Amino acid sequence: MASNATIFKATVQISDMDRQYYEDHAVTLARHPSETDERMMVRLLAYVLHAGEGLSFGRGLSTEEEPALWQKDLMGAIDYWIEVGQPDEKTIRRACGRAKHVCIYTYGGRAADQWWEKHTAPLARLSNLRVLNLPQDGSRALATLTQPSMQLQCTIQEGQIWMTDGSNSAHIALTGLKGGLPSFGH
């Protein structure tokens, strides 16, 4: 964690009806100075969608050898490598070689679309890779929920995601670009 990172705390009540997961999580997010609220909240969304034992945040943007999130087994092998944004092809290939499952959450509208057009063919052979896209209105709505201390509720049902802080809410319908839409987590 960078020494000049801004710290955010979130308590998230998760009701994931698709995978029968109902838990509350207290999460500490360190936002790198170059990270936007939108990206940080997409990281939090990825955490919520994969929440479970052993899931943790990587050390951040300044650490290329770690993803945004990962889950390791008891022996230290990487079960899930979860990245946010538009990583380069080399990083994705390396992740697919190190982890059982790799999931990338793209966002950003046209820039994400252009990134995917460029990477569709080279990434097609990676069988353990899943790429999901958040529509720009969804990621921007998530950013409006950003507060230094957040009390959030997230409901997931039939692939639809709703996150609210009691006053504002974000509705998200992910698009599966590669590997289809998962039932999140395991």
pTM attached to this predicted model: 0.92
Strand segments, DSSP code E, in 63-179 are 69-72, 78-84, 99-106, 129-133, 149-157, 160-164, 169-173, 175-178
Domains of the chain: 6-178 (3.10.640.10)
Residue 103 pLDDT greater than 70, yes or no: yes
CB atoms within 10 A of CB 167: 7
Residue with tokens 């052993």: 54
Report pLDDT for 93: 96
pLDDT-derived band at 184, boundaries 50, 70, 90: low
Alpha-helical segments (H) within 31-109: 37-50, 89-98
Report pLDDT for 183: 57
CA distances from 96 to 5, 46, 80, 91, 153 (A): 29, 18, 10, 9, 32
